[in-house]
Amino acid sequence: MSRNNSITDPHQASHIHMESQGIQQLLVAEKKAAEKIADARNRKVKRLKQAKEEAEAEIEKYRAQREKSFLQYEAQYAQSDHVETKIQHDMEMQMQNYKTEIEKNKDRVIEDLISYVTDVEPIVNPNFFILKSFNKI
């Protein structure tokens, strides 16, 4: 047999074709894996952005509540002789309370934010099992 005849051998051509298909399947699987990783990263970024927006909304809500409370307090004591001293004293007390509350809750908030970002549960796409049952993977 000459060398040219061995290339046209149907068994060898079939083997080369099967290897080529295997390589193509690996390339497709690698591309799908890269897409899943990119998708997971995008979801992580979205969750972090959502957590940040929720925290900002909560801060703004709290700020508005405190502003309303302050205005009510100011209106209540506006007719007193030493209003400024009382208001100043009460504001300092409130600021101290806020600082205490911030320090008390800071670690929990940070842990919650880190948890939102790092606790990703990968889920196998249901199509994987369907394709696997048809021996496509």
User: CA 32, CA 29: separation in Å to the nearest integer?
Assistant: 5
109 contacts: CB under 8 Å, gap ≥ 6: 55
Q: Which residues of the chain have pLDDT under 50?
A: 1-6
- Give pLDDT, residue 5: 45
User: CA 135, CA 89: separation in Å to the nearest integer?
Assistant: 76
- Give pLDDT, residue 62: 94
Domains: count for the chain: 1
- Structural domain boundaries, residue 69: 3-133
- Give pLDDT, residue 10: 66
